[in-house]
Structures are given as C-alpha cells and as structure tokens.
Amino acid sequence: MNRKLSSTLACGLAGLVLSAAVGCAAADEPAAKTPTDTSAETDASAETVTEPATNSNLCLADLGAMQPVCPTAASPTAPSAKCCQAFVKFQNDACSCSPLVRSVMGVGAQGQDQLDTLVNGLNAFCPALKVPVPTPDCAAAVTASGVNSGAAKTYNGGSCAQSDAKIDALRFKSAAGFAAWFDKFGGAAKGCVNYDALLAEFAVVLDPDSADGKTPYVAVPYGIGRYKTMKNMVEYLAIILPDINRNAWHLTVASDQTADSMLHFAPDGSSVITGSRLSVRSLDCLTTADGYYEMVFGFAGCNTTIRSIDIPLVSQAPSQLGKATAVPEMVSSFYHFGTLSSTVGIADICAYHEQFCTGPNKQFDGYDKCVAFMKELPKISPSCESSGKILGGNSLLCRFKHHFMIPFEPKAHCFHIGPGHKDMDDKVKCIDDECADPQVLGGPMKALTLVPSGEAAKCMATADAVVMPAGGPALTPWPSANICK
C-alpha cells in the first residue's frame, strides 16, 4: 500500500469537492469476524447485525453516498439539491462531529481543515437551495438519526480515557501510518534500505514488544508465517521492498479502486479492516497477482497502536464478507519465481549466501555446493503440502522466503537457508515441524496456479538471459549491501 491507497481508503474530501469517496463501509454492517486459518474452504455464513459503538462506519458510508451527487475534483461545480440532501443525512448522523471523519479528511494544500471547509461551504450553499441543514449536538451520545455518536466511552469495558470515536480516529491514523510505510520505503529501488529508519517508522504505529509475550505480529497464510516482535515484522515485510529483493517484484496500487476500496471498524473497536486493489510487478516485465487484498489491524485494550496484522484469504469485512482475496495469486507468483527462475531462484539464494554468509555464518563451502544442495530439495515439502503451508518446511520455497532477510541479520537468517543448523536464538527454520505448528496458517492448494502462464515463463526467460548469461551465474552487479549503514 502507499499514499495513494491510504488517501483512497480515507474517502477524503478536498475543499468543497469530493474526491474518491468510493467503496466505503455500509451503514448497517455487522461485526467483523476474527481472522482464522482458512485452509479449509467453507462458505461464509450470515452474521447477526450488531449496533456499532460509534458512527464511524455510518459516516464513511455517508461520504460515499455524497460522492455521486456532489461536485467532484474532476467537476468542481456548485452543489445541487441532491448533494445537500445527502449532506443532511451526514449531519443527522453527526458526522461533522466525528474525529474519524476529521482525521481521514485531513488538511488541504494550504493547511485548511477539510472537514470544516466542507461543512461551512455546504451550510452556506444549501439553504439557498431550500434545503435546511441541521446542526448536530456533538456532545450527545446518540445522533439525531438514533445511532451512537461515539461520544461515550464503552471500549474495553468503559475503561479507556478517550471516547470511542476518538479511539477510532487514532486507530485509523495507525493503520494509515502503516500504509504510508510502504509508500516511503517501497516503489522504485532507491539503492539501499535504512534498517534503523524502518524500525523507527514501525515504532510509531505498532505496540511495543513485551516481555510477557504480548508482542505485535503479522500473520500471512500458505506457510508464509507468523512473525512476532517489531524486528521480525520489519525483516519479513521488507521482502516486498525492491532494494531487498533486487527489484524482483514490488506492489503497485491499481488505478481503479471504485469497487475495492474499503475501510471498516469493528463495533467493539478491536479491529480496523482496510481493503484495496493491488498488483505485483515482477522483474519489470510482468504484472501478476492483480486483485483485492485486505489487512485486518488488531488492537488491544485501549491502545491505539497496532497489536496484530492479519492478511486473510477471504474478506473479513461485512460489506464484502466471503469475497476471495488475491493472496493465492500472489503466492503462486512467489512459487514461480522462487522455484523456476534463475534470476531470483536458486542462483539468487546462493549468491546471497556468498555475499552475506561469511565466517561463522557460512553454511556451504562455496556457490556450487549451495546450488547442489538446493537442487536436491523438494520445491514444496510433502509434509506441508496437505495443509497448504507451502512456504514452510524442509523445502526450496521456504529457503527462498528466508534468503531475502539475510542482509538484515546474517547471523540469524544465513542458518535458515542452510542444511538445518541452529541459529543464534537456538532455533532451526525450514524444517517439517513447521507444518504442524497451529499458529502457521495454511491455504487451499486448489486455489494456487503452480504452472506459470506463457507470459510469466517468457518474462523469467528474458530476465534470466540478462542476469544469468551462458557460462555461469553472474554474481555481479550485485548490491554491495542492501542495508544502508
């Protein structure tokens, strides 16, 4: 995700004109389910509608309803009566009082508060169109339309110092800050990645690590893993940064977010769900895994920083409940390039080993020994295949996953691509015990496409011809260091 995505999710407004307020959550959505292992493919069942603690979802829907009838950034005309009628509902739902709405709308180029500009402008225009606009009571616990305003303090058993609506706003800010992380460090390769800067950005939006085990984590299905602690999360998530994967792939945001942009708040305040259409650009010659993705941000107690991030296989948002995400397409692409490409497959793993795994971190006696070992491995561990945890276990694909993390900490990750030695934490990775770990999520094998398309095969062959010329592997030009010092 990037800044374009976070602004789309914000359903933002610019001055008197609405920007892309699309795909916002429906007003009467039920609570989101807690993400679970979706290895078993089941149909989503209907859920009971529950009254939300705040009007956050309703206000996002009100903004979405204003978009087709009010002036837009592309057509900045005077508001119509229909626009004013939609604004009446916005006011009856006390949305101009919402800290969340104020947060997602932000400030304009000149530093003006966008929500105040909108409200003041429509309050001036609408009476001339014979549409009287109410002024909401921002201190009231219930809006004029009869829904909760969020002014009360009910989250975490009523123990929080801030109102529910204020907590929604701050939790949105954390989720948007996480999205901004990809914008700041992703995109085109910049030469290197500053590890300390990555950690500093995460420290603003994530819960701190805790000695009692209640540390932040990110969980991704298909055996990609469950990474606990801020440090491990950074090292895993950095796989998508082109400076770490040598421009093997990077995420881009689809230009059309009309059907797929989504933002939803759980009624009890425990989670914020974001959704958007993304694609993966691979080797600068192929766009793959183009589709809908979600992130479920979990929060603990009264905290407004993120405790957990789950990437589901099916939508957890009530407005799109059961809708398949594009995670299987992403994993399929990862499989193709990890097991079939010379550019970012075995040659890449062993080149990383030769560059970064030296001295006591060395796992193989030279490049050729490394290649020979990798060629003997199964692409997918038979022990993990039945549960769909294909990026785990004693396999080539697991080592492919871990090799991108080597530059961050060779004394840990060099051991994870090796023959099974313990790392500095006395742990062994890429072994079949991972297949039985209940915290490692699987996925449905039949949703994967393990045979690459003709276009993907052509892309890999083109890239391999450049990086792997006849006569042997090209270990140069190789980055002298992926991590800025």
Q: What is the mean pLDDT of residues 114-132?
A: 92
**What would the pLDDT profile of 409-448 be if each residue is shown by its tens digit?**
899 999 999 998 888 888 899 999 999 999 999 999 999 9
Q: pLDDT above 90 covers what percent of the chain? A: 48
Q: What is the pTM of this model?
A: 0.86
**What would the pLDDT profile of 360-414 be if each residue is shown by its tens digit?**
999 999 999 999 999 999 999 999 999 999 999 999 999 999 998 998 889 999 9
Maximum average pLDDT range among 69-83, 322-336, 378-392: 378-392
pLDDT-derived band at 126 (thresholds 50, 70, 90) equals very high
pLDDT for 424 equals 86
pLDDT higher than 70, residue 105: yes
Residue ranges per structural domain of the chain: 3-147, 326-485
pLDDT for 157 equals 94
Instruction: Write the CB contacts of 484 (distance below 8 Å, at least 6 apart in sequence).
Output: 191, 192, 193, 194, 195, 197
Mean pLDDT of the chain: 81
pLDDT for 96 equals 96
pLDDT for 457 equals 83
pLDDT for 10 equals 32
Q: What is the mean pLDDT of residues 148-158?
A: 94
More confident residue, 197 or 221: 221
More confident residue, 361 or 186: 361
More confident residue, 434 or 256: 434
pLDDT higher than 60, residue 17: no
pLDDT higher than 70, residue 29: no
pLDDT higher than 70, residue 123: yes
Maximum average pLDDT range among 8-17, 129-138, 177-186: 129-138
